[in-house]
Chains A and B, each alone.
Chain A
């Protein structure tokens, strides 16, 4: 069954690694829904969080193909429902401050009122979607979304783990 999957990939922090990983998905014509990269705790390591839509077989195959890459140390794959997910949104807007303050309050977002209006929000990806829709009545100068980052809630049998 196709569903949203989150891959947590711990890799060597050096050039070309992300290319090799995304190339595996690209070769089989999968669209990457989201990708985030950050330093991990260990020295010279990064963690890549990738979300794609795939069935069990595909997810298993991808996890093992990614782990096979020499610069990949560990791959954990989990269905999105088994993860706590967050996304960060930054939006630079023009329009009514009052209205924006109201929206920010409803969503628990932060409104930075400097020379320009910048809205900062982090939350469940679906809430980010909802907020973006609300913003359509403002003049949007620029919107940046980080994509999804996540942690696995608890280790269940639907979690695949390869390496280490």
Chain B
């Protein structure tokens, strides 16, 4: 059915047809027509205070809900500000649609006011970039954008819409489905390869399962648990894989990597087989890649063929939909001899886990206890986001994620300032859940103006600032790797965070120690406005275990 619409109206209608409920953004000269059409729509608009935060909000919304997050900015500086947020989504394979305004067609490429080559600068950090140059292209491009963002290995897609195309009118038809030549997101696992993989698992003596972000997104967790229980083998995760399986499971050993748990890092280096599921073996996970793959086989289940042998050259890749692959693997292994509870490997797992699980390394540390307290108080389907740096690493180590999509962090790009706006986005997606941003004082200041959004739009979240008055991870490296030569890592005791929160109409408190924290955190969880809890900690606190860059997972500093 065709209707006579402007480009802006066609865009809004196409978004409605994709069941978009909310858009995070900031209007500008090149999106005024789009916003004018948005006024007649039931789609909610959440006004950000910086485009980077708008993108993080859309990303947080996507990660918490599994739906597409939509963000928008104007051309030029709006688009370049959005870029960091979109790159963050790209590195963590998050389905985000970015709609940017563009100058009118005749002005593109002529350095017009607020004109930048948006498609050019976004291309390396999106799955695809569309620039509809006529109204009639809009319905196909929007439908295709959603299809591309949500299928296969997910990721962000850009729609860059010139101002005059937004205004132009035409008879518009909306397609029910789109076919994109050259895009085959579905990969059926090869049964022969699965059989081969099953054989490798059965032949191994000391296998470890390693789940990543792909296991969270595909919700393959229950099948992974079935596999682990059948073989009585441990399940470790990457930072992005937290929550894929409940971390309180008796076979869960927590994350491996630069800030992995002592027992998980040890087990992986003692293993003779790693079963990677939806992981990409990033450098922060494997550390020294040669050491990581030296004495063991690496099996690699993933949906993205380009991940095969990308980081681990001598691995055995199994490409295909994870749910299908792992189902096939489980039924294949069932036919063969499973392990028993009495295997020496399980005993070793149990021994290490029992000894190290509750161990906290380092003296006079408060942060791990704060994180554990947050876990104790929150429900299992409440959501935690993190900033980047020490706070993120403490959350990785001490916050046990029990459900998929309840631990949201910038793992790939490591974007400081991600956690707070992502928490706002997650709260919009799951309004009945408590959402907590585990922050450092350095990261929080990068996007703290989102306080205005959270208060004005009535999106209350809790921000816990582990406040050491330094850029904590930088200080830790300068202390441990650069022989105490501190430079540019001290932030000083400014600002006064509770006062900052109150200036925006939020709640804020500075607490003193764990008991005080518990009291205010319980209050914050019930608060109707965003609540900032400033927790002073020592600038000397280190995150342990810590594997310095270039070392192997065996070489943990504790």
Contact = CB atoms under 8 A, between A and B. Distances in A.
Contacts of A27: 124
B148 A70 contact: yes
B181 to A, nearest CB: 7
Interface stretch (A61-69, A100-108, A131-139): A61-69
A70 B128 contact: yes
Contacts of A72: 182
Interface in A17-46: 19-20, 23, 27
Interface residues of A, number: 20
A161 B309 CA distance: 16
B305 A64 contact: yes
A64 B308 contact: yes
A60 B309 contact: yes
A56 to B, nearest CB: 10
Nearest to B144: A70
Interface string B127-146: 11100000000000000000
B181 A73 contact: yes
A12 interface: yes
Given A27-B124, A64-B305, A70 B180 contact: yes
Nearest to B124: A23
A154 interface: no
Nearest to A163: B182
Contact of A20 (B123, B183, B308, B313): B123
Contacts of B148: 70
A73 B127 CA distance: 15
A72 B182 CA distance: 6
Contacts of A60: 309
CB-CB nearest 3 A-B residue pairs: A64-B306, A73-B182, A70-B183
23 contacts: A16-B119, A19-B120, A20-B123, A57-B309, A57-B313, A61-B306, A61-B309, A61-B310, A64-B306, A64-B308, A67-B305, A67-B306, A68-B304, A69-B182, A70-B128, A70-B148, A70-B180, A70-B182, A72-B182, A73-B181, A73-B182, A162-B305, A163-B182
Interface of A: 12, 16, 19-20, 23, 27, 57, 60-61, 64-65, 67-73, 162-163
Interface of B: 119-120, 123-124, 127-129, 148, 180-183, 304-306, 308-310, 313
